């Protein structure tokens, strides 16, 4: 049974209209925003391998490019299986969060899901470390914010320092939007 905090997130997901973006020139991708189903939920994040061609050592959600013929949900679940060994059969998908984009040309759709609290994850060559970050830590830790200009608009960059890690960029933006939807801008 989901915690009070997790229920609040899931109820917000169900009660709001999500922001969808039409960016045909961008590559479509999906990420799994996975919360452990327990009294004090944790958020599944990965530290990207230093051997990858881009974003080495950065913290991200499991996810990647949507393959031809795949749905957003299927892509997020496949990527989580490939990156951290998360069996899609144990994941409960609750819905899609607001679309976002990256300066590198990805149009990303977050998939909100719950997963077992004590799942035996397995590292792939793409992942240096698996992080299970307590949601309460993220809620009680105000993010650092920085303004950046992109395509003539000002965007806020949210950075969460956590146990020697810096959770920022698209990952920080998604976390901030999910945990603080009332504060997050809904336009791009």
Which one has a higher pLDDT value, 10 or 87?
87
Contacts of 128 (CB under 8 A, 6+ apart): 46, 47, 48, 49, 50, 57
**pLDDT confidence of residue 50:** 63
Total-model pTM: 0.88
User: Which residues, including other chains, have CB under 8 Å from residue 140's CB and lie 6 or more apart?
Assistant: none
pLDDT of residue 106: 73
In this prediction, residues 24-32 reach a mean pLDDT of 86
Q: What is the pLDDT of residues 80-138, one digit of tens each?
A: 999 999 999 999 999 999 888 777 677 899 999 999 999 999 998 889 999 999 999 99
> Which domains are assigned to the chain?
4-136 (3.90.79.10)
What pLDDT is attached to residue 126? 84
Per-residue pLDDT reduced to its tens digit, 131-159: 999 999 999 888 888 887 766 777 788 99
| Residue 58 burial by Cβ neighbours in a 10 Å radius (0-12, 13-18, 19+) | middle
3-state secondary structure 44-78: EEEEECCCCCCCCCCEECCEEECCCCCCHHHHHHH
Note the pLDDT tens digit of each residue in 31-88: 999 999 999 999 999 998 767 556 656 899 999 999 999 999 999 999 999 999 999 9
Given this model, what pLDDT does residue 188 score?
A: 44
Angle at 72 between CA 102 and CA 10, to 5 degrees: 90
Rounded CA-CA distance 114/78 in Å is 15
């Amino acid at each position: 049974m989901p915690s009070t905090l997790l229920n609040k997130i899931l109820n917000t997901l169900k009660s709001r209209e999500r922001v969808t973006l039409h960016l045909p020139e961008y590559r479509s991708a999906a990420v799994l925003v996975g919360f452990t189903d327990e009294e004090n939920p944790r958020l599944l994040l990965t530290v990207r391998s230093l051997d990858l061609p881009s974003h080495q050592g950065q913290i991200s959600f499991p996810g990647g490019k949507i393959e031809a013929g795949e749905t957003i949900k299927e892509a997020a679940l496949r990527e989580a299986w490939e990156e951290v060994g998360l069996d899609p059969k144990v994941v409960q998908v609750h819905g899609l969060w607001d679309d976002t984009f990256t300066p590198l040309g990805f149009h990303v759709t977050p998939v909100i899901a719950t997963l077992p609290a004590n799942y035996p994850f397995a590292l792939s060559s793409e992942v240096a470390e698996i992080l299970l970050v307590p949601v309460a830590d993220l809620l009680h830790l105000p993010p650092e914010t920085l303004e950046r200009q992109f395509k003539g608009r000002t965007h806020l960059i949210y950075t969460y320092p956590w146990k020697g890690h810096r959770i920022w960029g698209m990952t920080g933006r998604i976390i901030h939007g999910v945990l603080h939807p009332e504060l997050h801008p809904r336009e791009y």
